[in-house]
């Protein structure tokens, strides 16, 4: 059994006391980050990357710490959804629909326990799915040449634009913006400067961490200034938490179905956790039919989306690790981490750095158990953390972002650039232009171009080479379908319903 011996290798890495300690710290920080409105998995992980890097953690430790934060944030998002009717992060939006009504009926504790167990089931099944599927996909990925990789990158952009955004033109602009920024700096093949306009700071190109922290963390500060922090938690109460065994049994089907749906949604490029929880909720609602009390505090309406979003978080790691193509904003951030650590994700990762991959997988399994313990008996601690007011939290986040980037690059130019990205992110989000394609463009731009140029070198400039293999044609077809189909499907599928307003009585 290959998998078992690999897992044994993984656990030998993960059970080292320091790694274990990092996993616990990561879970704790992650749950807080997920629970606090305004800090989600993407910006939470983004501001921690420069810090993890300057602390001199090795690749495995840094990866374990930050993926624990990632999983933790997925658990934590539900806490403020249920108690405050404010999703702690985007994927937790669906949990507000039934979680908040449950809390108003005095069943906040039950909702937290059910969603916590659902998160555990979803994340655990997805991690097991990752163990089984990632090596299989890695074997397929060995057959990818430059033409296939170019088509794959295209697929990531088009599905992200098609599925993940409301307006294709805006997603295309976002992707081009990111790709265009990636071109700045010295050309990899010829060594000639491009778009540097004589500025020495731009010769190395734009550091993707600067862009990510700017677009995620600094932008958030501007949004909070605009709203004057009115989305903060005031007056949260949580009574005694007991385990509602009857509800757990009744919702077990919803959890399993939600996990399956979420896992598949997570693997698809561009779909990610938000879509996973949305589809899981909708599916459960239609299965329950008229017998369900969805929207009025049905426990299944809490279990399904939470299982869905946590399973999607695990599923999204598969394309990121095996192909180097992230399926969501946060996995894009994790890809940035790997690239900073000089680890090239892709099929060779499994052969060259088995201790990194399997150590990571083993840590995820451990992190899940830790998170279940933290999120059920210890949930009250996190409810207390929710009380941190926005006027302390957001300045704190800003300063951490500045220190992180400053200690990483030591240059005021990068700090100004980061603020610039923050301003850009503010206008993009105001205009409803997705920022994830921008990040993906900056991350993948150079590799996309390199693969195109390598393909053309192989074929001696014959462009039909891009469509010469079955895999490439399939990827092109999927890319075009992923971009065009949602235009027609949008008429049939309604957007996810907005959460009811907290003020409403």
Partner 1 sequence: MASDRIFGLVVLGVALAYIASALQIQTSFLSDPVGSKVFPLLIGGIAALASLVLIVRPDENPEWPHGATWLHLGIALVVLVAYAYALKPMGFIVPTAVAAGVVSYQISPRLNTATLTGIGLSLGLFVIFKYVLGLGLVALPRALLG
Q: Which residues bind partner 1 (CB under 8 A)?
A: 51, 54-55, 166-170, 172-173, 176-177, 179-180, 183, 187, 189-195, 218, 221-222, 224-226, 228-229, 389-392, 394-396, 398-400, 402-403, 406-407, 412, 415-416, 418-419, 422-423, 426-427, 430-433, 448-449, 452-453, 456-457, 460-461
Cβ at position 367, least distance to partner 1 in Å? 21
Whose structure tokens read 């990827």?
475
Cβ at position 399, least distance to partner 1 in Å? 6
Closer of 174 and 371 to partner 1 (Cβ): 174
Instruction: Name the phi and psi angles at 296, rounded to 5.
Output: -120, 15
Closer of 312 and 433 to partner 1 (Cβ): 433
**What number of other Cβ atoms are within 10 A of residue 142's Cβ?**
12
Cβ at position 412, least distance to partner 1 in Å? 5
- Cα–Cα distance measured from residue 419 to residue 437, given in angstroms and rounded to the nearest whole number: 19
Closer of 191 and 290 to partner 1 (Cβ): 191
Closer of 156 and 173 to partner 1 (Cβ): 173
**CB-based burial, 83-114: b 16+ in 10 Å, e otherwise:** bbbbbbbbbbbbbbbbbbbbbeeebbbbbbbb
Could you tell me the sign of the dihedral formed by the alpha carbons of 477, 478, 482, 487, in that order?
Answer: positive
- Cα–Cα distance measured from residue 82 to residue 87, given in angstroms and rounded to the nearest whole number: 8
- Cα–Cα distance measured from residue 60 to residue 214, given in angstroms and rounded to the nearest whole number: 26
The answer to whether 334 touches 69, Cβ cutoff 8 Å, is no
Cβ at position 434, least distance to partner 1 in Å? 13
- Cα–Cα distance measured from residue 414 to residue 408, given in angstroms and rounded to the nearest whole number: 10
Q: What angle do CA 397, 217, 81 make, to 5 degrees?
A: 85
Cβ at position 405, least distance to partner 1 in Å? 9
Closer of 253 and 420 to partner 1 (Cβ): 420
Closer of 3 and 399 to partner 1 (Cβ): 399
Closer of 227 and 286 to partner 1 (Cβ): 227
Cβ at position 85, least distance to partner 1 in Å? 21
Cβ at position 130, least distance to partner 1 in Å? 30
Give, in order, the Cα–Cα distances in Å from 477 to each of 118, 265, 444, 480: 36, 19, 21, 5
């Amino acid at each position: 059994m290959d998998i078992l011996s690999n897992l044994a290798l993984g656990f030998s890495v993960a059970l080292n006391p320091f790694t274990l300690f990092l996993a616990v710290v990561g879970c704790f920080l992650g749950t807080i980050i997920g629970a606090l409105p305004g800090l989600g998995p993407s910006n939470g992980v983004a501001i921690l990357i420069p810090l993890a890097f300057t602390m001199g953690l090795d690749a495995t430790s840094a990866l374990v710490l930050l993926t624990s934060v990632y999983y933790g944030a997925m658990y934590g998002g539900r806490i403020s959804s249920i108690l405050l009717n404010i999703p702690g992060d985007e994927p937790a939006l669906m949990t507000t629909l039934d979680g908040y009504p449950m809390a108003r009926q005095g069943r906040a504790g039950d909702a937290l326990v059910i969603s916590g167990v659902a998160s555990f089931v979803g994340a655990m099944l997805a991690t097991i799915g990752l163990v089984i599927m990632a090596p299989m996909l890695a074997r397929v990925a060995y057959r990818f040449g430059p033409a296939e990789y170019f088509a794959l990158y295209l697929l990531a952009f088009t599905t992200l634009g098609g599925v993940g955004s409301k307006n294709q033109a805006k997603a295309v602009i976002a992707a081009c913006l990111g790709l265009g920024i990636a071109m700045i700096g010295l050309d990899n093949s010829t060594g000639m400067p491009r778009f540097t306009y004589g500025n020495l700071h731009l010769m190395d190109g734009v550091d993707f961490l600067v862009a990510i922290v700017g677009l995620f963390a600094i932008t958030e500060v501007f949004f909070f200034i605009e709203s004057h922090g009115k989305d903060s938690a005031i007056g949260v109460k949580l009574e005694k938490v007991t385990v509602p065994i009857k509800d757990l049994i009744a919702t077990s089907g919803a959890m399993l179905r939600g996990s399956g749906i979420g896992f598949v949604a997570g693997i698809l490029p561009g779909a990610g956790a938000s879509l996973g929880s949305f589809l899981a909720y909708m599916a459960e609602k239609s299965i329950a039919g008229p017998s369900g009390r969805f929207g009025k505090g049905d426990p299944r309406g809490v279990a399904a989306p939470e299982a869905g979003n946590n399973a999607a978080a695990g599923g999204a790691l598969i394309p990121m690790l095996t192909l180097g193509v992230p399926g969501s904003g946060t996995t894009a951030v994790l890809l940035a981490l790997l690239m900073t650590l000089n680890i090239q994700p892709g099929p060779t990762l499994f052969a060259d750095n088995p201790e990194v991959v399997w150590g990571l997988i083993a840590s995820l399994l451990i992190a899940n158990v830790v998170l279940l313990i933290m999120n059920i008996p210890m949930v009250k601690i996190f409810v207390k953390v929710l009380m941190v007011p926005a006027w302390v939290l957001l300045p704190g986040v800003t300063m951490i972002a500045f220190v992180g980037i400053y200690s990483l690059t030591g240059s005021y130019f990068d700090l100004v650039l980061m603020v610039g990205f923050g301003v850009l992110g503010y206008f993009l989000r105001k205009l409803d232009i997705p920022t994830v394609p921008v990040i993906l463009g900056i991350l993948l731009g150079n590799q996309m171009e390199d693969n195109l140029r390598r393909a053309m070198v192989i074929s001696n400039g014959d462009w039909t080479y891009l469509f010469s293999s079955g895999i490439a044609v399939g990827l092109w077809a999927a890319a075009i379908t992923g971009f065009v189909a949602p235009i027609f499907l949008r008429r049939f599928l309604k957007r996810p319903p907005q959460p009811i307003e907290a003020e409403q009585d």
